[in-house]
């Protein structure tokens, strides 16, 4: 039997850390593990996490994955890390965190973001200079917020890292960042792939931020070899190499084989994302499209909505429904939920850009206010937000023959049909639902093969390791498409009134 080539893929998300063990030779996922995180939430939009939870969850999930794979950790050749984007981790000169990490969903720095946008001469100025429009979730406003609210902490900053950079630093002792995840900081130019040092000097003329920046590396470069004490702690081969890793969307793209033009990945997670690979940095004039770099050598135009399974979860909890009952209710109600329309902006919204919006229900009558219609309305409302984003990507010249669905919502057959009908495009899921962890493991295999001088192309690895689930394939139904289009237009009219 051919010798296995084992790689560990880690995805550190908002709700928890997932780990998978991949045999890159056979393309099989052999084992999986998971451990949860908790949020530090506060008024005025605070959403933070204690970084020590990430390290604990990384350890538990890794041990779990090795156990379920029935493999010896000494055979792991490489590790790839995917992390939630935009988060801010500040370290002192001993490499220790100065305070909890501010997350992508933290909107406490909205005032600082507004100040920085004014400095950049508005959305058009931000697009012209950086290739993206900075938003409150991006890292840059969190830096100015730290300076304004925690000057004592700010004075001790030695390293500025994103969540996945911090985990790589813990694994290897090296502070670096790769282009994909760096794209979401707001102080990185996505066209020339360089830090915008002038913008950081505007925040801090003293130069402390510039000195604290990590070195930028290419997606297929390894960060280094795992530190001996961390290898012993995790029960892993001390010669295992750590790949560049990347943001969760960049790793999700690799984990769905979205590394060439023509594919579209849609993630139905806590938030919703739609993204497609591009081989040129064609920056959309629309502020809602973020033309990030990919972690596969190209670019990844992307839109992100703030409300998806977090919104459906609120309705499920309200009625105390388990997932199966909720899905049954959704399927019971007709398309358009008999006129009930939900604008599910419980967290404010990024696309469309309505940061201060709240959730609302429209079109209620004495006869249509039913549990089934409310369940249907929240799924339709969140999916309409993604349709709006997909239309923006299509206006930017991106083609889509089919959509690859990932994330928790993709497990629902009813939701898959709604997505196919609203987007008027066939959808299919990958066999491995943890696409970001799989992408991280594939990227690790790519990095290690390159370092060993027997470079396999990323396309070859994806072909072998990314498997589609034919049973999940869902095609649009023509009559449904027409009814969904009507409901979508009604949703757009309601959004326009905001």
φ and ψ of 58, to 5 deg: -55, -45
From the candidates 248, 320, 469, 479, give the one annotated as an active-site residue: 248
C-alpha angle 175-180-184 in degrees, rounded to nearest 5: 90
Judge whether 248 counts as a catalytic residue.
Answer: yes
What contacts 457, CB < 8 A, 6 or more positions away? Answer: none
Torsion over CA: 272, 431, 70, 20 (sign): negative
Cβ pair 55, 63 in contact under 8 A: no
Q: Compute the distance between CA of residue 470 and CA of residue 62 in angstroms, rounded to an integer.
A: 29
Q: Which residues are catalytic?
A: 248
């Amino acid at each position: 039997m051919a010798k296995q080539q084992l790689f560990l893929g880690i995805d550190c998300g908002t709700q928890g850390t997932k780990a998978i063990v991949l045999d890159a030779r056979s393309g099989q996922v052999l084992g999986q593990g998971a451990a949860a995180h908790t949020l530090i939430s506060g008024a005025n939009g605070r959403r933070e996490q204690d970084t020590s939870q990430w390290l604990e969850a990384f350890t538990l999930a890794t041990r779990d994955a090795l156990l379920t794979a029935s493999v010896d950790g000494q055979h792991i050749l490489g590790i790839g890390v995917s992390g939630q984007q935009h988060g801010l981790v500040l370290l002192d000169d001993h490499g220790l965190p100065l305070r909890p990490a501010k997350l992508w969903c933290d909107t406490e720095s909205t005032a600082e973001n507004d100040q920085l946008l004014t400095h950049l001469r508005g959305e058009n100025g931000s697009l012209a200079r950086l290739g993206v429009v900075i938003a409150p979730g991006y890292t840059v406003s969190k830096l100015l917020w730290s300076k304004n609210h925690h000057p004592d902490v700010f004075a001790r900053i030695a390293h500025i890292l994103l969540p996945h950079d911090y985990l790589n630093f813990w694994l290897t002792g090296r502070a670096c960042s790769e282009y994909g995840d760096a794209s979401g900081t707001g102080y990185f130019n996505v066209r020339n792939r360089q830090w915008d040092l002038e913008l950081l000097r505007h925040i801090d003329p003293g130069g402390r931020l510039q000195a604290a920046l990590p070195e930028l590396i290419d997606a297929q470069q390894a960060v280094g070899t795992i530190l001996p004490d961390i290898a012993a702690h995790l029960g892993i081969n001390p010669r295992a190499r750590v790949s560049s890793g990347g943001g969760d969307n960049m790793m999700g793209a690799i984990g769905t084989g979205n590394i060439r033009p023509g594919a579209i990945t849609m993630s139905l997670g806590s938030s919703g994302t739609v993204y497609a690979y591009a081989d040129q940095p064609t920056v959309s004039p629309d502020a809602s499209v973020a033309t990030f770099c990919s972690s596969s050598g190209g670019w990844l135009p992307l839109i992100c909505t703030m409300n998806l399974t977090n919104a459906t979860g609120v309705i499920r909890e309200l009625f105390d429904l388990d997932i199966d009952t909720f899905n049954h209710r959704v399927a019971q109600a007709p398309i358009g939920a008999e006129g009930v329309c939900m604008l599910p902006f419980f967290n404010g919204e990024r696309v469309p850009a309505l940061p201060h919006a709240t959730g609302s229900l429209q079109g209620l009558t004495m006869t249509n206010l039913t549990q089934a219609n409310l369940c249907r309305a929240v799924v339709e409302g969140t999916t309409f937000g993604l349709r709006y984003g997909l239309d923006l990507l299509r206006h930017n010249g991106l083609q889509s023959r089919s959509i690859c669905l990932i994330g928790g919502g993709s497990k629902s057959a009813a939701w898959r049909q709604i997505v196919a009908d609203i987007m008027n495009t066939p959808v299919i899921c990958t066999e491995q639902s943890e696409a970001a962890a799989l992408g991280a493991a594939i990227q690790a295999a790519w990095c290690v093969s390159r370092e060993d001088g027997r470079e396999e192309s990323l396309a070859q690895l994806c072909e072998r390791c990314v498997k589609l689930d034919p049973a999940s394939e869902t095609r649009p139904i023509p009559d449904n498409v027409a009814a969904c289009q009507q409901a979508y237009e009604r949703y757009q009219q309601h959004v326009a009134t905001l």
